[in-house]
């Protein structure tokens, strides 16, 4: 384990057990991790930013070495402002790799100190995505094995309105 804080950024709409696993594994490697909620203008979220932040805070409550933060704008601006340089990204498979490599190159272009580390998803989470969870809930599926309990409750409440 090192003492270099890592940043695990995403839109987390909603946070899944796969996200939780990547954050914990990053903490175990780097000593601490910032789970950073950051907007993605290409996505239409189910939960607004305040709701997602609250869900992340509840999901990670009491987790040593993990703190939840929120930022606007470019991820590299957040890194620079906080004197951070290590980004952690989870990969489920080849399509994720292509997308994440592109992001890693842009992050390096905008902040030469940025380094991206990829963690492969555990087999049990290799299929898991926030969009699949949202879709399953819309059809009445029980997603409680896939997400933290607070998220399962929030999804049920949100989609029953």
Catalytic residue IDs: 19, 43, 92, 130
- Quick check: 16 and 128 in contact, CB under 8 A? yes
> Which residues, in sequence order, are bridge partners of residue 119?
90
- Quick check: 27 and 33 in contact, CB under 8 A? yes
- Quick check: 28 and 60 in contact, CB under 8 A? no
β pairing state of 6-10 and 66-71: unpaired
Residue from 83, 47, 49, 44 nearest 68 by CA: 49
- Quick check: 103 and 7 in contact, CB under 8 A? no
Q: Is the peptide bond before 14 cis (omega within 30 degrees of 0)?
A: yes
In angstroms, the CA 119 to CA 97 distance is 10
């Amino acid at each position: 384990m090192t003492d270099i804080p890592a940043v695990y950024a995403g839109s987390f709409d909603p946070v899944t057990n796969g996200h939780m696993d990547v954050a914990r594994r990053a903490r175990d490697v780097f000593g601490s991790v910032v789970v950073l909620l950051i907007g993605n203008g290409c996505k239409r979220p189910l939960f607004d930013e305040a709701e997602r932040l609250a869900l992340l805070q509840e999901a990670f409550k009491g987790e040593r070495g993990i703190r939840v933060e929120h930022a606007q704008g470019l991820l590299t601006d957040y890194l620079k402002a906080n004197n951070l340089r290590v980004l952690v990204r989870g990969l489920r498979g080849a399509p994720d790799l292509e997308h994440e490599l592109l992001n890693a190159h842009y992050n390096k272009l905008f902040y030469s100190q940025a380094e991206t580390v990829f963690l492969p998803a555990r087999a049990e989470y290799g299929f898991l995505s926030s969009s699949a969870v949202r879709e399953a809930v819309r059809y009445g599926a029980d997603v409680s094995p896939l997400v933290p309990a607070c998220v399962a409750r929030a999804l049920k409440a949100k989609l029953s309105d």
